[in-house]
A = this chain, B = another copy of it.
Amino acid sequence: MKDVLSGVEEKLRAREFKFTTRRELILKALLENNDKHLSAEELYNLVKQKAPDMGLATVYRALELFQELDIINAIDFGDGRKRYEFGVEVGKNHHHYHFICTKCGCINEVDDDLTEDLESRIGKKHKFTITDHQLKIFGICNKCLASY
């Protein structure tokens, strides 16, 4: 976690952005909830507990900046808002996918090397220059299945 923080700090400074208290708070909240795929507003509510005068716009601006620096990615799970997760460079397993229950809407992140060579095979076959991929699996989660 410390590594990530100082890594981001470096990245910011390298492009003459400032490593402010607000940005650090936002980053920490993201780190502590890495698995939850927070939306901007959820993140805002979390950070507001530690900095009650935080503005929602600041959260949006920080998220935009972090995306630009390839620190986080935005994903749309179909609920009309963007959700965020850390990118490959920040220790996120590149080979994971999201299992989305179409019944209750829950999102499970799964690490699985089944997708490991998919990207390279696709790259070779089609001569694409691939930088990343994103896989969503839709279905019914075990909890919902059990409640039938």
**A74-B78, A76-B76, A138-B134 known; A122+B112 contact, CB < 8 A:** yes
The number of times this chain is found in the oligomer is 2
Q: When each residue 32-63 of chain A gets 1 if its CB lies under 8 Å from chain B and 0 otherwise, what string results?
A: 00000000000000000000000000000000
**A78-B74, A118-B115, A131-B102 known; A110+B136 contact, CB < 8 A:** no
- Evaluate contact between B130 and A138: CB separation under 8 angstroms: yes
- Evaluate contact between B138 and A125: CB separation under 8 angstroms: no
A109 shortest CB reach to chain B, Å: 12
Among A115-138, those with CB < 8 Å from B are 115, 118-119, 121-123, 125-138
A19 partner residues in chain B, CB cutoff 8 A = none
- Evaluate contact between A133 and B135: CB separation under 8 angstroms: yes
Most buried by B among A125, A127, A138: A138
**A76-B76, A137-B122 known; A127+B112 contact, CB < 8 A:** no
A142 close to B (CB within 8 Å): yes
Considering the chains assembled together, what is the distance between the CA atoms of A145 and B141 in angstroms? 41
- Evaluate contact between A138 and B145: CB separation under 8 angstroms: no
- Evaluate contact between A140 and B134: CB separation under 8 angstroms: no
Considering the chains assembled together, what is the distance between the CA atoms of A69 and B112 in angstroms? 32
Q: Would you mind naming 17 contact pairs between A and B with Cβ atoms under 8 Å apart?
A: A74-B78, A76-B76, A97-B122, A99-B126, A99-B128, A110-B126, A112-B126, A114-B118, A115-B118, A119-B137, A122-B137, A129-B140, A131-B138, A132-B137, A132-B139, A133-B136, A134-B135
